[in-house]
Amino acid sequence: MSSTSPRVIAHRGYAADNPENTVAAMRAAAADDRTDAVEIDARLTADDRVIVFHDDDLSRLTDAPPAVSDTPVWELSYDEISSYTVGDSDELIPLLAEVLAAIPPSITVNLELKHPGCEGLQFGAVDAAAREAAADRWRPFVERALDIATATDHDLLVSSFYEGALAATRAVDPAVPVAPLVVDDVEPGLTLADRYDAAVIHPPLDLVVESDFVARAHAAGYRVNAWTVTTPAEATALAAAGVDGLIADTPGVLSELS
């Protein structure tokens, strides 16, 4: 078990407290001295701009008209989405470069790669040829995102639910640490971590609490960051389970930890 408090990773820039994945959210998260890292969701637009946005489309987070909000982000140009504000805020959907410029280099950036319209393989990819094809599909997006992110002084951690994203990241820049995002099973997370020489594994918090995930990951040499922490009770349970990091919706989850 970890003897120190887990590191705190601001999920979407603390989505419970700030308009998620915006420049304002990242500034606020970075200004909080409890924050070690920020987690941001990256996507590719139809005109190959890398934006910071979680959803497949604009319907939940903006008041864009149906012609726009019902269309997947990867089929829209940045110009078509850049005038809409996020939630109740005045914040626009930002470019990755704008978000990174708003975060001081002392804050690690966990770049979660959402699929750019080519979902392809998720977990447990079948054979080497399928994995290679998935990496090829992801490569243009990964190249663009890493070009932008590695031009900054931030420590980076690339995570994804998609094997193609991890494979392409490894191929494009072997120096960038990667973390498989796990859905609901221990084995695929460990398999992908081995396959892509991951630094960390990102399981959902239920899996950590209900299994020996942390012990097995630590025994294999991987750190564990659990998502998504929304309450102090969850943070306490995860700290007791020995996780290394909490991907948290608010730093308020730390209130019961010493």
- What residue ranges bind Mg ion (CB under 5 A)? 41, 112
Fill in the DSSP letter of residue 18.
S
Q: Is 43 in the site for ligand G3P (CB under 6 A)?
A: no
Q: Count CB-CB contacts under 10 A for residue 83.
A: 11
Between CA 197 and CA 210 the distance in angstroms is 25
Q: Is 223 in the site for ligand G3P (CB under 6 A)?
A: no
Between CA 133 and CA 141 the distance in angstroms is 14
In the complex, what is the shortest distance from the CB of residue 31 to ligand G3P, in angstroms, rounded to a whole number? 21
Q: Is 234 in the site for ligand G3P (CB under 6 A)?
A: no
Q: Judged by CB, which is closer to ligand G3P: 90, or 251? A: 251
Count of positions on this chain that bind ligand G3P (CB under 6 A): 11
Residues 1-20 that bind ligand G3P (CB under 6 A): 11
Between CA 61 and CA 83 the distance in angstroms is 13
Q: Is 162 in the site for ligand G3P (CB under 6 A)?
A: no
Spell out the alpha helix ranges (H) of the chain. Answer: 23-31, 66-69, 78-81, 96-102, 128-149, 163-172, 186-195, 205-210, 213-219, 232-241
In the complex, what is the shortest distance from the CB of residue 226 to ligand G3P, in angstroms, rounded to a whole number? 9
Q: Which residues contact 250 (CB under 8 A, 6 or more apart)?
A: 14, 16, 17, 230
Q: Judged by CB, which is closer to ligand G3P: 66, or 108? A: 108
From the list 21, 35, 228, 250, which residue makes contact with ligand G3P (rule: CB under 6 A)?
A: 228
Find, among 140, 144, 197, 190, the residue nearest to 166 by Cα: 197
> Of these partners, Mg ion, ligand G3P, none, which one is at the site of residue 170 (CB under 5 to 8 Å by kind)?
none
Q: Judged by CB, which is closer to ligand G3P: 79, or 119? A: 119
> Of these partners, ligand G3P, Mg ion, none, which one is at the site of residue 227 (CB under 5 to 8 Å by kind)?
ligand G3P
Between CA 246 and CA 238 the distance in angstroms is 8
Positive or negative: CA dihedral 69, 100, 35, 164? positive
Q: Is 249 in the site for ligand G3P (CB under 6 A)?
A: no
Q: Is 202 in the site for ligand G3P (CB under 6 A)?
A: yes
Question: Which residues in this chain contact ligand G3P in the complex, by CB under 6 A?
Answer: 11, 39, 41, 54, 112, 159, 181, 202, 227-228, 247
